[in-house]
Structure 1
Amino acid sequence: MAQSLNRWVRRGLWACVAALATTATAAQAEGRIRVAQQFGIGYLLLDVVREQQLIEKHGKPLGVDVQVEWAQLSGATVMNEALLAGSLDIVSAGIPPALVLWDRTRGKQNVKVVASLGSLPNYLLTNNPNVRSLKDLSDKDRIAVPAAGVGFQSRTLQIETARQFGAAEFKRFDTISVSLPHPDATAALIKGGSEVNTHFSSAPFYYQALENKQVRKVLSSYDILGGPATFNVLYTTQKFHDENPKTYKAFYNALVEAEQFVKANKAKAAEVFIRVQQSKLSPELVRRIVEDPENDFTVTPQRTFVYADELQKLGVIKNRATSWKDYFFEEAHALPGS
């Protein structure tokens, strides 16, 4: 079943890329931006930007009427493929996939990070009563992640696996990982009876799953990274950054304003998420997530360098970063990042 799931997900991802490619143009003109986000409340800043039309707002003082196109996809693989194919201008994923693309495009597309979207933990959950730690996972278990082997969850798990089992074993759990969007993985975990019995989950999905008494947390990404750390980021190519300075600035300023809005209006921000995502979650739950002190919706990067350092040691990326500023565009450099 794992193979069939992977085939199904791959077909879906490539279908999305093909659909997006039909709208791509050979050259981007200043004043147009195509942005893609994934699922979950980790993308709240983008929900605020979208509903309040903040990109358009910040484009006007710069003399640009920005035309914004939004897409919603699942998984780092399709994001990266679409960005390199020129089907999207700004994509979103966890910091590990962004670092891999930064590493592999140096001297070519020169992909770099625009901004953080927030520091939120991811929880490794299971409904298998025999799994209390990573050492209890076996070939009979299946771990659901949005992008098996390459996404935020897989890379985070690889870092912890290397610590517990040795660097040579860092891909130990890749063989039992399957690519599955968070909503589907959550449903499988809650319902039970599926071969997918473990899920490296993001908010709001782990909140939902943990309401089921058969589901429990094995570990948190914060445990692995040593504290609050950036979950997902936005990134783009040097070409888009350099050829569209006004549009880029409008986008970045929009993110900054969105952060300010969320921090000052958490209840209203929760309402924005429900409206934009057409979420069926209860307003009380969404507000609890937004107000949870573990969750910080900020453009400031936190502990991203842990990934850069650890993934370079494991050979996932070849180029060694000396600072987080090496893989972020200069607009973010004034922030107290890490």
Structure 2
Amino acid sequence: MRFRAFARAAALAALTTSIVLTGTLGGTPAQAETNQLRIAQQFGIAFLPLIVAKEQQLIETKAAAAGVPDLKVEWLRLSGAAAMNDALISGGLDFATAGVAPAILTWDKTRGKVDIVLISSLGSMPNVLTTNNPNVKTIKDFTDTDRIALPSVKVGFQPIVLQIAADKAFGQYDKLDHLTVSLPHPDATTAILSGTGGITAHFTSPPFVQQQLASDKVHAVLNSYDVLGGPHTFNVVYGTKKFATDNPKTVAAFVAALDEANAWIKANPAEAAKLYIKAENSKLDPALIESIIRDPQINFTTVPERVDVFTEFEYRIGLIKQKPGWKELFQSGLHDRGGS
């Protein structure tokens, strides 16, 4: 009996030593977390939390505190969702950024293949449909002579919100699709303010909304918050499920960095506006940027809001084959934050 007890104790000691020395069972070293994080950053105030995290090196600091020392963060500029998704799938990118509606489409299309997971929300921010046509008061007033500019027709964030609005107004979600044209926000802003190019409306986000509404030539037709019944997530960060599984400390550090960036933005709106202007080499008035940051409708937060409204609609009209709840879309570190 004493021999067996001694043998068990010796075996336990050997196992403990193996875990301490190798970080795992069986003597196989545990896989270390990544030493680099490649993030696709886009332009616009919606991405301010990423700009703050970058300029203040918050991700590196949080990662070091979590036991991931010397993490190198690389910031990439990629044009368009297609290029971004290609880079993510091919392994040339770790975190992509996009509107929540098209990110859900990517989640569905890659399901069972690459498998992506949404890492975090970048905040809740209303998008506004504007027009220079004085006869258009609601979307029911658009005629075949109108043209609605969007960054990407049918599958982008704004066209999907427009489809939700059309579904409510006409009982036909694609009623206005034939009026939409793809045009970048800056070009559409120039067109609608100048009255050129045949563009009579533009579904857009800050700061383009504020720039347009400052003119007496343009007025608002609808606000996406009204369409979806309240504040909703605008943009998200997403990556492959494999990367998130292999690098839990890095993912947690990234979210913690965004949380700190969001708190700093809210506490220091004037400084955040100046940082944005400098980092983006923007010619916009810092006072305009500060007013946007202070807008009570805008909330920089990592918590997903009303994501389920998008999944429900996209599933109902056949854009996606699966209907996930928001917790199925987002990594588990956000599940206890009261999202929707």
Q: TM-score, normalised by structure 2?
A: 0.86
- 2:68 is aligned to 63
Closer/same/farther in 2, CA of residues 172 and 85 from structure 1, 3 Å limit: farther
| Aligned AA (1:179) | S
Shift of 1:178: 2.0
Quick one: distance in 2 between partners of 1:52 and 1:317?
Answer: 38
Quick one: distance in 2 between partners of 1:152 and 1:183?
Answer: 17
2:126–2:297 contact (8 Å) kept in structure 1: yes
Aligned mate of 1:53, from 44, 52, 57: 57
Aligned mate of 1:40, from 40, 44, 64: 44
Quick one: distance in 1 between partners of 2:99 and 2:184?
Answer: 14
Report the 3-state secondary structure (helix = DSSP H, G, I; strand = E; otherwise coil) of the residue aligned with 2:113: coil
Closer/same/farther in 2, CA of residues 146 and 109 from structure 1, 3 Å limit: same
Shift of 1:220: 0.5
Asked if 1:246 corresponds to 2:249, the answer is: yes
Shift of 1:117: 0.7
Closer/same/farther in 2, CA of residues 216 and 73 from structure 1, 3 Å limit: farther
Quick one: distance in 2 between partners of 1:108 and 1:275?
Answer: 40
- 1:328 is aligned to 330
Closer/same/farther in 2, CA of residues 81 and 163 from structure 1, 3 Å limit: farther
- 1:231 is aligned to 234
Aligned mate of 1:163, from 168, 175, 178: 168
Asked if 1:105 corresponds to 2:107, the answer is: no
Quick one: distance in 1 between partners of 2:70 and 2:45?
Answer: 28
The number of residue pairs the alignment matches comes to 308
Indicate the larger mover: 113-122 or 30-39.
30-39
Shift of 1:80: 2.9
Quick one: distance in 2 between partners of 1:141 and 1:82?
Answer: 36
Identity %: 48
| Aligned AA (1:43) | F
2:68–2:250 contact (8 Å) kept in structure 1: no
Quick one: distance in 2 between partners of 1:137 and 1:66?
Answer: 52
Quick one: distance in 2 between partners of 1:76 and 1:225?
Answer: 24
Quick one: distance in 2 between partners of 1:145 and 1:29?
Answer: 40
- 2:197 is aligned to 194
- 2:134 is aligned to 129
Asked if 1:92 corresponds to 2:97, the answer is: yes
Shift of 1:216: 0.7
1:37–1:73 contact (8 Å) kept in structure 2: yes
- 1:293 is aligned to 296
- 1:120 is aligned to 125
1:92–1:235 contact (8 Å) kept in structure 2: yes
Quick one: distance in 1 between partners of 2:249 and 2:43?
Answer: 28
- 2:268 is aligned to 265
Shift of 1:74: 5.1
Q: Deviations over 1:1-29 (max 9, x none)?
A: xxxxxxxxxxxxxxxxxxxxxxxxxxx97
For structure 1, the 5+ residue unaligned runs are: 1-27
Closer/same/farther in 2, CA of residues 298 and 153 from structure 1, 3 Å limit: same
- 2:12 is aligned to none
Closer/same/farther in 2, CA of residues 87 and 126 from structure 1, 3 Å limit: farther
| Aligned AA (1:163) | K
Closer/same/farther in 2, CA of residues 176 and 88 from structure 1, 3 Å limit: farther
Report the 3-state secondary structure (helix = DSSP H, G, I; strand = E; otherwise coil) of the residue aligned with 2:299: coil
Asked if 1:213 corresponds to 2:210, the answer is: no
For structure 2, the 5+ residue unaligned runs are: 1-31
1:159–1:311 contact (8 Å) kept in structure 2: no
Quick one: distance in 2 between partners of 1:43 and 1:145?
Answer: 19
1:30–1:246 contact (8 Å) kept in structure 2: no
Aligned residues: CA RMSD: 1.8
State which structure, 1 or 2, has the greater radius of gyration over its C-alpha atoms.
2
Quick one: distance in 1 between partners of 2:190 and 2:77?
Answer: 20
1:74–1:181 contact (8 Å) kept in structure 2: no
Quick one: distance in 2 between partners of 1:68 and 1:164?
Answer: 45
Closer/same/farther in 2, CA of residues 204 and 94 from structure 1, 3 Å limit: same
2:33–2:68 contact (8 Å) kept in structure 1: no
Closer/same/farther in 2, CA of residues 144 and 236 from structure 1, 3 Å limit: same
Quick one: distance in 1 between partners of 2:155 and 2:68?
Answer: 40
2:101–2:310 contact (8 Å) kept in structure 1: yes
- 1:17 is aligned to none
Shift of 1:270: 1.5
| Aligned AA (1:51) | E
Q: TM-score, normalised by structure 1?
A: 0.86
| Aligned AA (2:249) | K
Quick one: distance in 2 between partners of 1:119 and 1:74?
Answer: 23
Quick one: distance in 2 between partners of 1:157 and 1:37?
Answer: 25
